[in-house]
Amino acid sequence: MLNSVNQYFEKITSQKGKDQIVYEGYIYTFNKKYKTSTKYICSKSKALLCRASLSMDPDLNTILKVNNVHNHEPLQNTIQIKKFREQWKPKLKSSHHKTSPNIFTLP
């Protein structure tokens, strides 16, 4: 039932530039796109064989279905680190180009 699914989620970007979904303290990564939905699986599906997943509408605005049974603790610290990186990465890139010293000079 759609009404029983918590609709609060966040979209973040992985270090490789892929979209990820943060839902109830866990991170989900893209798995497969269907005509009527997009499936995301737990980011620990390979490392810890976690079977949790969620399905969203094609526009990624609504969670349609959730299997939120994980075999590990929530990833709150990882989520905070990812958000920090996402916030500062563009700023660090732009400041690096402006202030990087010329180490090697030719006579």
Site of tokens 């279905």: 65
pLDDT digits (tens, 9 = 90+) for 3-55: 456 678 888 887 788 888 888 889 899 999 999 999 999 988 887 889 999 99
The model carries a pTM of 0.66
- How many CA atoms lie within 13 Å of 23's alpha carbon, on the beta-carbon side? 27
What does each C-alpha distance from 60 to 30, 39, 45 come to in angstroms?
Answer: 11, 10, 21
> Which of 51, 29, 31 is closest to 39 using CA atoms?
31
| Burial class of residue 37, CB neighbours in 10 A (0-12, 13-18, 19+) | middle
Residue 15: predicted pLDDT: 76
